[in-house]
Chain A
C-alpha cells in the first residue's frame, strides 16, 4: 500500500480555545450510532456549536470567516477520553487536515496519525499568537512544514514538535501501519506458537 508522504499541510486556520477538549465533546456518543464513518463531519463539536448558537454566539467552526479552514488549533490534552476513532474521523471529514495544540491525549494522537492527519505541539503562547493572526486575517494561509518542524503564517515561523516516530511515519508515507504489519505475518505466527494461551 503506497501512501502519500505527508511533509506539508497548508490551509486556513481555526482556533477552538480550551484545555482537555475530550472526545465526547469532539463527537458526542449519540452520533456514534453508525456502522461507517461517512457523514460524521457535520457532528464535529456538535453540542458546543449548538450551545453557542443558543447563546447567540458563533462557534469558531460555524464562523463564516473561518469556513473551509483545514488547520485546527486548540489547548492542552486535546482528545482525552475515549478511544473512539470517530473523533479524529469527524474532524477529518469536517475538513481538518492537521491539528496544533499544547498537548494531545495518546490514543487520539495515534488514531489521527493513522489517518494521515498530523498532530503537532506548539507552546501555548505561540498558539495564542497564531490565533490572533488568524483572527485579524482569517484568509491567511498557515503552512505546517513537517520537514522543517515549523508552522508559518504571514512571514512568521513558529517552532512545532512532534514525536519522532510519528514524524518519520508521516514524512515517509508510512502513517498507516497495516502494510508493515501484514509483511510480518510469518513472524506473527511464530511468536503466537510460542505462547501457550494462543493455542486455545
Chain B
C-alpha cells in the first residue's frame, strides 16, 4: 500500500499501542532549552527516574540569553538561574549542551539542522511549538509540553495520536521580492490559524522543489501558526546536499546507506491524503500582518480590512486587533510608521536570510529614529556572517549586530518593545504582548520587508525600496 512520509515514520517509531488507544511513539531525537526543561528534570527527580537515552537529547540556551552583554552572571538573576539549572541538569544526566562558550549555541531550531542532528525519517520533539521547523528535512517533529519533555527524558517516547495529513501544493515561480515567508503567511491567511488542527501539513509542489533547505525551514517553522503541530517537506537532493559533512551527519559508508534510507522515507507518489489544497506561486505578493494573529495578513498593496468584510466568526478578533494595532480600516497598510525593525528568530535568522538582506541593504541607512537590530539565529550563523562581511554591512547601515538567541521574538531577555512601539519583525508571532511589552505592536513580514521598513521608517514595499523587479 502506498504511504505518506508520516505513515512510514510513524510505523518505524511506533513502539506499541497504549491502553487508551494512543501510540507510544519513539522520539529519536530530543532537543531541550532552558525555559521548558527545568520543571521536567524536577518532575523526573520527584519520581526517582533517570534519563533513558542521554545521547539522544541535545540542549542549547536561546530564549533568555542576552544578545548584548553576554558575560555571566547575567544581570537578570532569573535568567542566570535558568542557564545554570540547564547546565547542571545536562551535566548530571550526560546530555550534550551547546552552551555559550562552545561557539555552537543558538536557537534550538537553528542549531539542530546546523549540527546535522536533524535528519530525514526521524522523529524529533522539543518543548517548543516551532519544532515543526525540523520537518523541512522530512522529519516528523513535534512541539511538546513540559510533562511530555519529562516523558521523553524518562522513556524516549510519548503518547500521541496519529494526525491526519493535508498536502499543500504550491506550484510555479515566486515573483522577485516574494519569499518563503510570504508563502507561509499566505497559506495561514487562506487556511486560518486553526485550519490545521489535527493535521500534519505536507508541503510540496514545484515551488517547494525549487526552495533551498533554509526556505523550507521558514515555511515548516510556521506550521503551528496555522494550527498544524507538524509540517514537513519530503527529503530530496537539496536536503542531502545540506546535511553532507555536518558534525552529526553520517560519514563514509554510513552516509550512502543513510541517503538510501532517507530517500525511501519520502511519500509515495500515489500516496493518498486526507485533504489536498493547491496554490499558485504567482498569486502570492509580499505579505504583512495587520492584526494579532498570523492569519490576519494582507498583501503590501492592500488596505487594512473592515471587520464587516471578515467572516462573522473572526469579526470580534478583527475588531480587537484593529484596536490593539491602532490601525484604521480602509487605509493602506503601506506607510504605517514603524519604531523598531527586528531581523532574526527561528523563522528567518539563518545565513541565507542575512545574506539576502545584506545584498540589498548595502550602502543604505536605517531611517532616523528607528531602532534596528539583527540577531543571528546561532553562533554558527553569526561567525559565518561576520567572516563574509555581512555584519559590517548591517552595522554600517545602522543596525545593531547582536549575539545569537531568540531575543525580541518573544522578549524574554532584555530585548523588548517599549510601550506601544510598532515593530516590523521577521519572527513568527504577532500576539498581543509577544515582543515583551503588553501594548507593543508586531507586524510580521519577510526579512527583506523588515529591512525596507528599517530604511524608510514605515511599512514599505521592499521591491520599490530596493529596486527589485
Contact = CB atoms under 8 A, between A and B. Distances in A.
Nearest to A81: B431
A88 B64 CA distance: 21
A35 B81 contact: yes
Interface residues on A, range: 35 or more
Nearest to B49: A182
A28 B438 contact: yes
B438 A51 contact: yes
A188 B39 contact: no
Interface stretch (A64-72, A138-146, A164-172): A164-172
A147 interface: no
Given A35-B42, A111-B145, A103 B197 contact: yes
Interface stretch (A8-16, A128-136, A152-160, A192-200): A192-200
Interface in B252-290: 254, 257-258, 261
B15 A184 contact: yes
B159 A180 contact: yes
B24 A188 contact: yes
A22 B293 contact: yes
B431 A83 contact: no
A76 interface: yes
A119 to B, nearest CB: 13
A29 B128 CA distance: 13
A145 B227 CA distance: 29
A33 B56 contact: no
Q: Which of A34, A168, A176 has the most CB of B within 10 A?
A: A34
Contacts of B438: 28, 47, 50-51
A34 B143 CA distance: 20
A81 B429 CA distance: 8
B229 A106 contact: yes
A110 B38 contact: no
B412 A85 contact: no
B21 interface: yes
B109 interface: no
A15 B157 CA distance: 37
B79 A83 contact: no
Contact of A115 (B78, B147, B320): B147
Given A29-B411, A80-B193, A197-B28, A165 B22 contact: yes
B47 interface: yes
Interface string A43-87: 000010011000000000000000000000001110011111110
Given A36-B38, A82-B129, A198 B28 contact: yes
Interface residues of B, number: 84
B422 to A, nearest CB: 17
Given A20-B317, A36-B39, A165-B161, A107 B143 contact: yes
Contact of A181 (B24, B79, B313): B24
B199 to A, nearest CB: 10
A129 to B, nearest CB: 18
Given A29-B436, A169-B20, A195 B12 contact: yes
Contacts of B412: 29-30, 32-33
B147 A82 contact: no
A136 to B, nearest CB: 23
A198 B433 contact: no
B216 interface: no
A177 interface: yes
B21 A165 contact: yes
A125 interface: no
A29 B147 contact: no
B257 A82 contact: no
Interface in B187-230: 193-194, 197-198, 224, 227, 229
Q: Most B CB atoms within 10 A — which of A103, A105, A188? A: A188
Contacts of A187: 15-16, 24
B15 A85 contact: no
B248 A200 contact: yes
A165 B224 CA distance: 22
5 contacts: A35-B39, A81-B129, A85-B39, A88-B145, A191-B13
Given A47-B432, A184-B155, 9 more contacts: A32-B35, A82-B429, A83-B128, A177-B159, A178-B150, A180-B24, A184-B24, A196-B257, A200-B248
For the complex of A and B, 5 pairs with smallest distance between CB atoms: A111-B145, A85-B145, A33-B78, A35-B38, A177-B159
